[in-house]
Amino acid sequence: MINMILVIGAFGQLGTVLTEKLQVKWGLNRVIASDLVSKADFNGHFETLDATDFKALEQIVTKYKITEIYHLAAILSANGEKFPLHTWDVNMTSLFNVLEVARIHKVNKVFYPSSIAVFGDKIERVNTPQSPNLTPATVYGISKVSGEIWNNYYYNKYGLDVRSLRYPGVIGYQSLPGGGTTDYAVDIYHKAVKNESFECFLEATTKLPMIFMDDAIRATIELMDAPIEDINVRTSYNLSGMSFTPKELYHSIKKIYPDFKISYKPDFRQNIANSWPKSIDDSSARNDWEWKPAFDLDMMTELMIQKLKEYYNSITV
């Protein structure tokens, strides 16, 4: 059977990179990118889609005979707190639409991104295990926990093969995050490369789990490629890359930019970060489908700076 892939939220932070990877893996004609608005420089098939519109989603799924959906659209943790009920509505309606359309039209596989935001204050914050008490402190986290449980329900009741990862903060040079609490760890590199100083909205010592984009994308593809009998977690897999504080990240960048300056001005996002783990136990992912991250902090810093330098040079000439 021919695989036809739909990516929802294809121009977001993860979607931008994942769509390109999937195009390379399956071919340009096998991947349909969708998002709220189109992008002039996008190379490939594109459909405008608001995933809260069931009919519009269904039309695309039937038009292209979609067999695999990556549902990456969501309102993230920090933006989500500004309009909690709207966030719940968007995140859940879009997921229900994806699950229902997949069930009705017999889509083979669905990918759903969950997050370390599912954890709350009832957990061990160091090496947080797979399935402790989930009592998230943000509406984004509540929507992700609920999404995980609904995915598990669709798997058990209808046999829908939904797979999911609890991403840490994702850091990449290819795209910008939008409205999350871990966004600082991307912004800081842009400031360093532009020779500007950085004002951090988290305290110097706030340790959070993070992952380099290459690792995050590889984990996604490896999970989706794993034989069905190896997938034992049907809510969402803990996923770990590295853990660091803003101060540690600053010192990693300072090895390349010794004059780089940072100041700290915590805002409402500090409370969100305080409710999240410091590090993650991802042994289920390691055991079930042999997950292993490749990048540590200094390796990531080197590549981020090299790539962002290339990018800023290319737009200033």
Q: Kindly list the residues in this chain that would bind ligand VAH in the complex (CB under 6 A).
A: 76-77, 115-117, 140, 167-169, 177, 180-182
Of 172 and 180, which CB lies nearer to ligand VAH in the complex structure? 180
Helix (H) or strand (E) holding 96: helix 84-104
Give the separation between CA 251 and CA 58, rounded to whole angstroms.
Answer: 49
Closest-by-Cβ residue to ligand VAH is: 180
Q: How far is the CB of 13 from ligand VAH (least distance, A)?
A: 8
Question: Alpha helices, DSSP H only, in the chain?
Answer: 13-26, 54-63, 77-80, 84-104, 139-158, 184-193, 213-225, 246-254, 269-274, 283-289, 297-316
- Dihedral in degrees, nearest 10, Cα atoms 223, 299, 188, 11: -30
Catalytic residue among 140, 154, 189, 250: 140
Residue 184 annotated as catalytic = no
Of 23 and 181, which CB lies nearer to ligand VAH in the complex structure? 181
Of 104 and 126, which CB lies nearer to ligand VAH in the complex structure? 126
Q: How far is the CB of 243 from ligand VAH (least distance, A)?
A: 12
Q: What type of residue sits at position 159?
A: G
Q: What type of residue sits at position 231?
A: I
Of 117 and 193, which CB lies nearer to ligand VAH in the complex structure? 117
Of 67 and 164, which CB lies nearer to ligand VAH in the complex structure? 164
Rg from Cα positions in the chain: 19
Q: How far is the CB of 61 from ligand VAH (least distance, A)?
A: 26
Give the separation between CA 33 and CA 18, rounded to whole angstroms.
Answer: 10
Residue of 294, 292, 217 lying closest to 21 (CA atoms): 217
Q: How far is the CB of 62 from ligand VAH (least distance, A)?
A: 31
Q: How far is the CB of 156 from ligand VAH (least distance, A)?
A: 25
Give the separation between CA 26 and CA 21, rounded to whole angstroms.
Answer: 9
**3-state DSSP assignment of residue 118:** helix
Residues labelled catalytic: 140
